Structure 1
């Protein structure tokens, strides 16, 4: 059945191809923004639905940020104070699903080894890369490359899809064809616009039009495209210092340090925090950048079960009482590293539970908020904001700008003493290039849009000074007033944001749209009968596929629909062997109609591929769509 469906979905429909839209400025109206080059306005991916009651003129393309004025499709992302933090339940599929999954992998591995065995002896020319190395040792052994050649290569069309344009609500795919055995590929010259459920553009700030894009354009005029140096050399400009102060204020810390790459933020800063004689306690599902940084540091490392507070406390009791191996001396420091939102599982860290253990056992806490900053909390400040916990109680906050802020790079935030030390001892400051000015502009513009900007002082108002600073800077130098707005002193004088961004109204609107979309999709998939992982407020929703044959079938069937949908499938080694999944990433740029479209597609494909194995009574997709608001508010069970 799966093989038959997989064959059918390889016949992609070229009739879905469309041309890209023409960028416009903020002052343009919605009709001119969303017109296609060929004049066709019937494409629902580029044209908003007709509304007779709306008179609002949008400054963004509907293909980049969906137009939706219905205030019922909004929600505030917040944990109810006093309520227990529920652990996400992971349901198991029927035994026949697990058995067929193991048998499928066993069959693929056996066939792959047989092809290698006979291929080396009968058709040596096709396996010259495995046999002859001109006297050199092989860079990759048979075992290392086996999974890539014999399993992943069969479904290579699902990965590394070339795209062009903005990764917003929709995305433009460059169509490609593969030769026999998927060994080679070439572009066909056609393009397909598809609904984008695969990008980390949580708040929809990755746009080519609008206030942030205009600010970036002005930033290029002011500073160029690169600082051309490391931070400790000639690559640190005034713009970097302004951005670091703004980031520190946004996350609620004293100071922050920027890095030009999110992965490098962890891998170069952790060695400056820990060393020999230190102990790192890491969640078993922490990101590869954390694991890499811990290895470079030389510190000892212990792991606890994912988000399990009992496992963490038992481990803390052991390591504190036993001390270092052999000598049993006390550890120089103990650092617990967790993520705010786990990208493969969609689970939120149990921050209240960890804070209770921190008060009891006195360890340092490092929270990686790569996916949670900007995406969670009523003010977009991440998991601390979501759980209403003061960020000053956390020792180190790490985050990236590649998700919610539509930019690149990362940051470390903490006390001023800690950050000053990291500036000198962190490898990224001495060796890595500094963040480019256009990227910094995007970070500042999007962050200020979430925070809102304080109005400037009247032209002739009296000014007093505190520690050498004008009264306009008073709030910037005093204790952090959570959640706080962005003082004008922390923004470049030339930065001009539209009123709806400057007052923070659009930032709040994006946060509420994202919260609704995330909860609606998560609960909707569960009501349809799918097995999903993660927290219902997470913008990352993994849907379990299990069988390796269902991964290509699901992805190709999604792309072959009348409204093409781009999804990301994830398998071993990124996940355990038998829990392959499709990972949906929703955004504030999606409308409720987009989520409806996705639910209808999942419902049809789920029936065809036998994916509905979740517990509870199943709903029809039309019933889920009809009761979307009630489901999100928790008014129906």
Structure 2
């Protein structure tokens, strides 16, 4: 739980009040004459890059002759340290192991099947990758989807519906929120990463049963994330699993930011926290981050969840729901497969050790310098709290002047008082070098 100093909260509220008042005043005069219609923050967002998202990348310079009302790209670029990317292990850029094999795969497979998987778009590469993913995380089966957001928003409505109960962490990703809402199930929220409150909610809901009828719930699913992307905190998974076992609830774990990034061999929070993957009923993760590609993965603890009890249940529609709208490119699939092999059989062990070392060093040094940094050790996500809205553009611009590329986040993506420089991912750069910039 973030404790906000009283003076900080007061000045932040005052700043937002001032911003609101001047915004209303500007909008009033804009109706008369368009003399002040620029967005002063526009230059801090959507900065284009012209290189792979490696530890260092090229940020295209933009200029404005009308106070940021419009921005024009130039031919100049700045070489910046990349602290705004999900490319945790560097596989999103050129890799001496993966890149040649991906190029070679195009000689055997076309770039795309030009068809949805359920029609004519499933090849041997898809099935090989699904087997590889399932073996990697220690599950009997896996389904590969075309998009991480769609995985959460499409799978939850398949797993449960009316008469079911979804208990979600209060800071879960928007894809989980939308998936839960689309399921038709009853939704309850527990305090962020607080197992004791989860148990209280579970006990109350089981005692009350379904609304109006008070019948027992058909299914109860507790949804959590491995690493929370805006907080950098590790899920208290052992305690949550213990509670779910006690009350016979299913566990749905979103490992978008943890799979491939934490654990001795990159197998996520289960490996890091010593949790048996058999105790997690549904595991979801993405390939867009540590594995440097696209698509998402959906791993389950039982083949029956994927195929359905008799092949015709709601579970049998799992792949039909998520896959028809997407075409997975073969080069991306092969990159995932090679990065899985490379990451944890060859150079991956060194990369994982490096990101842990850099992350923990960088976090501790920032704290020594007086920054308020969220998150836990070993987490590659390090949000730095800014609070005041005036600091958001100032921090972003000053970092860019020093050739450091960061992403700032404020309301409504975060609560009003909790603006931050989020996504400070330390990649493979030297932490000591960064602190000298």
TM over 0.5: yes
Give 1:174 deviation, angstroms. Answer: 1.0
CA change 1:443–1:402 in 2 (3 A) is same
Specify which of 169, 173, 178 is matched with residue 283 of structure 1: 169
Question: In structure 2, what is the Cα distance between the partners aligned to 1:273 and 1:378?
Answer: 31
- Does the CA contact (< 8 Å) of 2:255 and 2:283 recur in 1? yes
SS in structure 2 of the partner of residue 280 of structure 1: strand
- Does the CA contact (< 8 Å) of 1:323 and 1:331 recur in 2? yes
In structure 1, what is the equivalent of residue 424 of structure 2? 585
Give 1:244 deviation, angstroms. Answer: 0.2
CA change 1:272–1:203 in 2 (3 A) is same
CA change 1:270–1:408 in 2 (3 A) is same
1:8-407 correspondence runs (5 A):
90-93=2-5, 95-120=6-31, 122-123=32-33, 153-407=39-293
Give 1:193 deviation, angstroms. Answer: 1.0
In structure 2, what is the equivalent of residue 607 of structure 1? none
Specify which of 295, 303, 307 is matched with residue 420 of structure 1: 307
Give 1:359 deviation, angstroms. Answer: 1.9
- Does the CA contact (< 8 Å) of 1:236 and 1:434 recur in 2? no
User: Normalised by the size of structure 1, how large is the TM-score?
Assistant: 0.66
Specify which of 397, 409, 413 is matched with residue 570 of structure 1: 409
In structure 1, what is the equivalent of residue 399 of structure 2? 558
Structure 1 runs not aligned, ≥5 long: 1-88, 128-148, 453-503, 602-637
CA deviations over 1:210-266 (Å, ceiling 9, x no partner): 110111101112112112111111000010000000000011100000001111111
In structure 2, what is the equivalent of residue 79 of structure 1? none
1:432-443 correspondence runs (5 A):
432-443=325-336
Question: In structure 2, what is the Cα distance between the partners aligned to 1:358 and 1:450?
Answer: 32
- Does the CA contact (< 8 Å) of 1:551 and 1:581 recur in 2? yes
Give 1:91 deviation, angstroms. Answer: 4.2
CA deviations over 1:289-346 (Å, ceiling 9, x no partner): 1111111111110000000111101100100000011110111000000000000000
- Does the CA contact (< 8 Å) of 2:131 and 2:141 recur in 1? yes
Question: In structure 2, what is the Cα distance between the partners aligned to 1:326 and 1:266?
Answer: 29
CA RMSD of aligned residues (A): 1.7
SS in structure 1 of the partner of residue 317 of structure 2: helix
- Does the CA contact (< 8 Å) of 2:83 and 2:427 recur in 1? no
Question: In structure 2, what is the Cα distance between the partners aligned to 1:572 and 1:352?
Answer: 32
Specify which of 472, 493, 510 is matched with residue 351 of structure 2: 510
Give 1:450 deviation, angstroms. Answer: 2.7
Question: In structure 1, what is the Cα distance between the partners aligned to 2:318 and 2:404?
Answer: 45
Specify which of 364, 375, 387 is matched with residue 534 of structure 1: 375
Higher-Rg structure is: 1
Question: In structure 2, what is the Cα distance between the partners aligned to 1:234 and 1:535?
Answer: 45
Give 1:428 deviation, angstroms. Answer: 4.3
Give 1:407 deviation, angstroms. Answer: 0.5
In structure 2, what is the equivalent of residue 599 of structure 1? 435
Give 1:209 deviation, angstroms. Answer: 4.1
Question: In structure 2, what is the Cα distance between the partners aligned to 1:587 and 1:246?
Answer: 28
Give 1:163 deviation, angstroms. Answer: 0.5
Structure 2 runs not aligned, ≥5 long: 309-314
1:549 and 2:390 aligned: yes
SS in structure 1 of the partner of residue 386 of structure 2: strand
- Does the CA contact (< 8 Å) of 2:285 and 2:298 recur in 1? yes
Question: In structure 2, what is the Cα distance between the partners aligned to 1:179 and 1:577?
Answer: 32
In structure 1, what is the equivalent of residue 297 of structure 2? 411
Give 1:573 deviation, angstroms. Answer: 0.8
- Does the CA contact (< 8 Å) of 1:269 and 1:427 recur in 2? no
Aligned length: 430
- Does the CA contact (< 8 Å) of 2:146 and 2:323 recur in 1? no
Question: In structure 2, what is the Cα distance between the partners aligned to 1:357 and 1:249?
Answer: 27
Question: In structure 1, what is the Cα distance between the partners aligned to 2:127 and 2:384?
Answer: 42
SS in structure 2 of the partner of residue 341 of structure 1: coil
- Does the CA contact (< 8 Å) of 1:228 and 1:433 recur in 2? no
Question: In structure 1, what is the Cα distance between the partners aligned to 2:318 and 2:55?
Answer: 41
